[in-house]
Chains A and B, each alone.
Chain A
Amino acid sequence: MQLETRLGRRFLVLDPADNVATLIDEDAGLACLSDGMAIADKVPFGHKVSVRPIAVGEAIVKYGIKIGVATHAIEQGEHVHVHNCE
């Protein structure tokens, strides 16, 4: 029997050009992705975190397209949502 040890959160990057990952599990207590990258904790299911630093005014990219612009400087692993993207 094989036991899986979950050390990080399950996520989805829809396109190689994306600078955000979408979290698709509910382990909001974990503070890293399943590939080891440190992220903010308490980010809810379905929300996005940045996978690299994003400067003010830089595009937020998901589906390989620009879905918005950073209104604040965003650190790698930070929650990306209405408070820093529009």
Chain B
Amino acid sequence: MYMSITVSSTDLFDFANSLEWRGYCRSDGRVGIRNHRIVLSTVALTDRLAAAIAATDKDSLCIAGAFSRGLQKSDEAMVERFIRSVLTHPNVGAALVLTHDRASAERLAREIDAAIPIEYLAFMQCAGRAQAVAEGGEKLQMLASQQNKLEQRRTKVGQSAIALALECGGSDVSSSICSNPVIGDICDLTISAGGLAVVSETAEFIGAETIFEDRCPDAATRRAVLDFIGYRARLMEQDNGKDYRGTNPTQENIDGGLTTLIEKSMGAVSKTGTTDFVSALEFGIPPCAPGLHFMDTPFFSPVSLTGMMMAGCNLGLFAMGVFNPSGNPLCPIIKICGNPQTLRCWRDDIDVELDGYFTGEIDRGGAQRAVLTRMNAVFNGAETASEKVGEGQFMLPRLKDAL
């Protein structure tokens, strides 16, 4: 029987302390684990141009989210929040910002107060596409030389620099009894070291509301979390009343052995570990304090990962059951999988293999070490599986109709 698993948190704590953590210290006190030179497309009209410019510089990262124009105020504010979050993200070292028109470029240049080198380029102001790509490429080279002058480099930091995005996708029994509980252990460790963690996908908490009674000492935070969950539950009922089970757990969850929403919720909730929830955040809002935070997001992982990246998370832990390719190019996502069937085909897309947990080759302590070892390597610069292939999307939640 594998039911009596001893978790030796003291050993894990000592092990974590024996590792060296090196990151980029930013002027706002946050720490980056990457130093990306980004090409940021602020509107869909410049997405193709952004890709073409980024292709001229192998060290650059293209960030494009197919953002619309003519949005109502709440959606417009969300795009603005995205732009601001990306330009101040700790994993960004320099940025080329693309707009369609000059007024937008001038406004952003005036309003964005970021401590990194930033250049702006308005597509309409260019003399043809070829010239636009060439000018963008030149600006990237200028940014690269500014980064060199600034001597942006890694220095030794504490584990309090870890800002975790907690995620699961393609959930199945392996994530609920193996990957998520182990992520919960790492979350507890991170928070005890003074770091922070954000968990999202509000709908996954439907059915597990009672945990907030025990783990939410601040009444206003508890109320806010329960309101977020209640709102998503009502939306799902209104939209999908008869076929509720078909939405969540999804068909792939059911195929993996999860029967009910509560069962799925308990699996997902276990990745938050055991500490108290400090705050309830709206989509993409950065936490103001260390500790564990709840963020209200839709359940589609590219969207929820975008929200947690916007919150300033510098690293993600993702429990994968059946295959799910989600990642986030700006916030490296460590994919953890215990499902032997998934591992048979998808090893290239997985960072930590925990199938030994099912065969009895490793215990829970061994699984914790495997995750922490990989997390330390990724923190210090090792590429994740999804970084290697450039996997991941930037997606905002849909709020209202476009005008």
Contacts and interface: CB of A to CB of B under 8 A. Distances in A.
Interface string B68-83: 0000000000000000
Nearest to A24: B358
B3 A46 contact: no
Nearest to B172: A46
B263 A68 contact: yes
Interface residues of A, number: 25
Contact of A48 (B1, B245, B259, B340): B259
Contacts of B254: 81-82
Interface in B245-278: 245, 254, 256-257, 259-260, 262-263, 266
A43 B233 CA distance: 32
Contacts of A25: 358
A13 B1 contact: yes
Given A45-B257, A48-B257, A85-B259, A14 B177 contact: yes
A68 B261 CA distance: 9
A81 B259 contact: yes
A47 B339 CA distance: 13
A68 B254 CA distance: 14
24 contacts: A10-B2, A10-B358, A10-B360, A12-B3, A22-B173, A24-B173, A24-B177, A26-B340, A45-B257, A45-B340, A46-B172, A46-B174, A46-B256, A47-B257, A48-B257, A65-B262, A66-B262, A67-B260, A68-B260, A80-B259, A81-B257, A82-B254, A85-B259, A86-B259
Interface of B: 1-3, 172-174, 177, 245, 254, 256-257, 259-260, 262-263, 266, 339-341, 358-360
